[in-house]
Amino acid sequence: MAALGPDEIARRVARELPGGAVVNLGIGIPTRVANFVEAERGVLFMAENGIVGVGPRPPEGGEDRDLINASREPITALPGAAIEVAAEGVRLRRELRVPANRIVWHRAHHKYMLIGDRSKAALQSLYPDGHKHLIKLHISAKDTGRLLGWAVVTVSRLKSHRYFGDMRLGAIVDMLAAPEDAYRVLSGAVAAVQQSGADLVVSNHSDRRWNEAFERAGMLQWKTNFHLFLSPKLLQRFDPVEEYNGRFYFTRGDGHGPTQFWLVDD
């Protein structure tokens, strides 16, 4: 009898799985099993790199390079799939739409002196549905389930880059949470980018409390080519600016088109 190939073995294993089973996939041949289980059987697959809700391998040309299993092979994520990380007691859920952040926005925006609009409508404009390079995350407390904040991250493969050379560069593009939740939200975002295979993680933030969270998470300060220029009216409002700019909230996501600003009085 001829030996079975990897796909034949995976197909044989798939036939043995009962409907509604929860299956942790290892590396190697086990990663192929999800390719041979029909969605209507309700089997929930977990990848060992922390993705819950793994679907079959995408068709050629439809790969998302930020969505891989523990063998670094491309996979798909079923609706409602989640990314679980061991990072300061937080739970991450990768959303396929802009995070419904109304709770976070109303909880957080008044705690910053000057912040760009991050309401649901504004985020839909900045980070539209279907953008294949954006990873959009809800970040919640693992013990209570309380929504802490959200983050938008990317992982890009660079080649002969002027500053970074050849690597997978992760970027925390945008995020929002109350200052007291900054570290847990940030540590969760960093862990998600690392799980996507990033060699280096970069971000930009103006708020002093968030920068303290970045340092606590092990990130280093470096020079930036992002600059903030205030209109004469805003300069007058925040005079002397040195007393206020530590509570201005600007990230890499700001500056991509018209922005409505929110001011908070002392």
**Domain spans in the chain, listed from the N-terminal domain onward:** 6-83, 90-263
The DSSP element (H or E) to which 236 belongs, if any, is helix 232-237
CA distance 84 to 137: 11
Question: Would you write out the chain's pLDDT as a tens digit for each of its 266 residues?
Answer: 567 888 999 999 999 998 888 888 877 888 899 899 988 888 888 887 777 888 888 888 888 776 787 777 888 888 767 666 545 556 666 553 444 578 888 889 999 999 988 877 778 778 877 676 788 888 888 778 888 999 999 888 899 998 889 998 999 999 999 999 999 999 889 888 887 788 899 999 999 999 999 988 888 888 877 777 888 988 898 888 888 888 999 998 886 655 666 666 55
CB 200 within 8 Å of CB 171: no
CA distance 139 to 160: 34
Amino acid at 92: L
CB count in 10 Å sphere of residue 36: 16
Of the chain, the end-to-end C-alpha distance in Å amounts to 81
The pair phi, psi for residue 83, each rounded to 5°, is: -110, 120
Class of domain 90-263: alpha beta
pLDDT at 182: 94
CB 177 within 8 Å of CB 106: no
Q: b/e for 237-257, b at 16 or more Cβ within 10 A?
A: ebeeeeeebebbbbbbbbeee
| Cut 0.85: pTM above it | no
